[in-house]
Chain A
């Protein structure tokens, strides 16, 4: 009996592995190439003034962009390079735990045949709103 379960698990594991790879490889290549272009820098310049809504210094924009576009590790790496207090880091943490790794996670959810447009909109919207709320509360 256990053999059947192991075989079944192996098969669905291999299946999932290939589904994930099909999604992750293009996203990973895209992200790596974009990271070597000035695109993220331009985005930072555009959105820098908006950081005031969240009570964050202008440089924090890069943390948000890295977190949303790449992943939490990239964002946390960027935080360690900036001088910020508990309050600012908690606001960034709140915004980024709610919404992060958007290209990767959105594509993965899509594989489960769940419509993602609305989810993406809700997620990003609530992340921004959370920044404003945490700035008022903390």
Chain B
């Protein structure tokens, strides 16, 4: 019984901590994003990405989930991914490609630095991961799963 009690306590504390942390991050984040969007700043920020996205056959609209997911990671960026998918500005095919890139490569520096802290080589990790994500997303968008031409 004591064992069950320990796990129960661990779950309650852990969940509470996680919920508070996510709430404190996600609320200001979504408010900030709506402000950036409202004043057209987000569009300006993602515009330079357009030529890069075009190589993967992605429209400029896909830049928003791409950029947010890249820097905030999949969990904190989830709100934007969900929103983009629901608003319909980004097609399901594009969302899949964005998620392919992001699942291989997100929070690039944050994740890497955790391993560097215990002794890994920074440049190998960043270079390898970025090259892999770009290469695989190109392969899928151009060769394996290209958008059907109407």
Contact = CB atoms under 8 A, between A and B. Distances in A.
Interface of A: 1-2, 4-6, 8-10, 12-17, 19-21, 24-25, 28-29, 32-33, 36, 72-73, 76, 79-80, 84-86, 89-90, 92-94, 96-100, 104-105, 108-109, 111-115, 119, 122-123, 126, 130, 134, 138
A100 B33 CA distance: 27
Nearest to B35: A5
Interface in B75-124: 75, 78-79, 81-86, 92, 95-96, 99-100, 103-105, 111-112, 114-121, 124
A29 B11 contact: yes
Contacts of A2: 35, 38
11 contacts: A16-B79, A17-B26, A24-B18, A73-B114, A89-B115, A112-B95, A113-B92, A119-B100, A123-B103, A130-B132, A138-B124
Contact of B115 (A14, A93, A99): A93
Interface of B: 3, 7, 10-11, 14-15, 18-19, 22-23, 26-35, 37-39, 74-75, 78-79, 81-86, 92, 95-96, 99-100, 103-105, 111-112, 114-121, 124-125, 128-129, 132, 136
A65 B103 CA distance: 18
A90 B27 contact: no
A33 B3 CA distance: 11
Given A105-B74, A114-B95, A32 B10 contact: yes
Contact of B99 (A4, A72, A89, A114): A114
Max chain A Cβ within 10 angstroms of own Cβ: one of B7, B15, B100, B124? B124
The SS class assigned to the B binding surface is helix
Contact of B30 (A9, A25, A36, A96): A9
B36 to A, nearest CB: 9
A138 B123 CA distance: 12
A97 B120 CA distance: 12
Given A24-B18, A97-B129, A98-B132, A104 B92 contact: no
A72 B114 contact: yes
Contacts, number: 176
Contacts of A4: 38
Nearest to A86: B119
A138 B124 CA distance: 9
Given A105-B74, A114-B99, 15 more contacts: A5-B31, A5-B35, A9-B30, A12-B34, A13-B29, A13-B79, A16-B82, A21-B19, A33-B7, A86-B120, A89-B115, A98-B105, A98-B132, A108-B78, A112-B95
B15 A25 contact: yes
